[in-house]
């Protein structure tokens, strides 16, 4: 028997002083997307903003539905929007936030759900490039995850399906 340890390194910031103008703009766009979320059932608003390799930014927010599973998370709305408009451009980063103003109980940054992690991993795999994940916290707190590989180790990718078809 052997044990395998999986580690990941996160970068924690208390304010925006180390960030470029483009990064701060991305954070603001994630926050403004959050304000427009449609979350009448959970009242939990989430916003996301995705940057493509050419600097274009696509925003998304959670869209809920009376038939609950028909809704979609903010991260997927933003990524699917970006990838459907530009299927051949790499996504390089995504910023994610929740509505901290309405939820004083949230102290820590909120991380994406498993389904959104899998979707971010899909596009990292498709383009063979890391997507930097900025988890925005209260005020100017930011946690940077360098790649979905850090948040979703042992990821399932299309390679497994291709390997099966070659059997
Ligand atoms: N939600 C997101 O938008 N992103 C996540 O990563 C977690 C959950 C949304 C889905 C639903 O509209 C609400 O938050 C409550 O789960």
List the chain pLDDT tens, one digit each, 167 residues. 999 999 999 999 999 999 999 999 999 999 999 999 999 999 999 999 999 999 999 999 999 999 999 999 999 999 999 999 999 999 999 999 999 988 888 877 889 999 999 999 999 999 999 999 999 999 999 999 999 999 999 999 999 888 776 76
pTM for this predicted structure: 0.95
Residues taking part in catalysis: 75
Question: What local confidence, expressed as pLDDT, does residue 167 receive?
Answer: 64
Kindly report the CATH number assigned to the domain that includes residue 128: 3.40.140.10
Nearest to 96 by CA among 47, 144, 63: 47
For residue 3, tell me if it sits in a domain: no
For residue 4, tell me if it sits in a domain: no
Q: What's the domain range around 128?
A: 11-166
For residue 6, tell me if it sits in a domain: no
Q: Which residue, judged by its Cα, is nearest atom 14 of ligand 1?
A: 44
For residue 152, tell me if it sits in a domain: yes
Centroid of ligand 1 to alpha carbon of 56 (angstroms): 24
For residue 60, tell me if it sits in a domain: yes
Centroid of ligand 1 to alpha carbon of 69 (angstroms): 11
Residues 38-75: b if buried by 16+ CB within 10 A, e if exposed: ebeeeeebbbbbbbbeeeebbbbbbebeeeeeebbbbb
For residue 1, tell me if it sits in a domain: no
Number of domains in the chain: 1
Positive or negative, the CA dihedral 29, 11, 89, 76 is negative
Q: Which residues line ligand 1 (CB under 6 A)?
A: 39, 42, 44, 46, 62, 64, 71, 73-75, 112-113, 116
- Tell me: the pLDDT tens digits for 24-70? 999 999 999 999 999 999 999 999 999 999 999 999 999 999 999 99
For residue 2, tell me if it sits in a domain: no
């Amino acid at each position: 028997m052997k044990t395998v340890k999986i580690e990941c390194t996160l970068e924690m910031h208390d304010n925006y002083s180390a960030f470029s103008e483009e990064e701060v703009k991305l954070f603001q766009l994630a926050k403004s997307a959050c304000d427009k979320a449609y979350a009448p059932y959970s009242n939990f608003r989430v916003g996301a903003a995705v940057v493509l390799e050419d600097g274009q930014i696509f925003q998304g927010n959670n869209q809920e539905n009376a038939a609950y599973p028909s809704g979609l998370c903010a991260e997927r709305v933003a990524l699917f929007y970006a990838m459907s408009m530009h299927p051949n451009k790499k996504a390089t980063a995504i910023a994610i936030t929740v509505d901290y103003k309405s939820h004083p109980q949230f102290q820590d940054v909120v991380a994406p759900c498993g389904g959104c992690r899998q979707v971010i991993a899909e596009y990292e795999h498709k383009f063979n490039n890391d997507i930097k994940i900025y988890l925005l916290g209260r005020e100017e707190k930011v946690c940077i995850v360098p790649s979905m590989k850090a948040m979703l180790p042992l990821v399932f990718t299309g390679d497994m399906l291709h390997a099966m078809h070659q059997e």
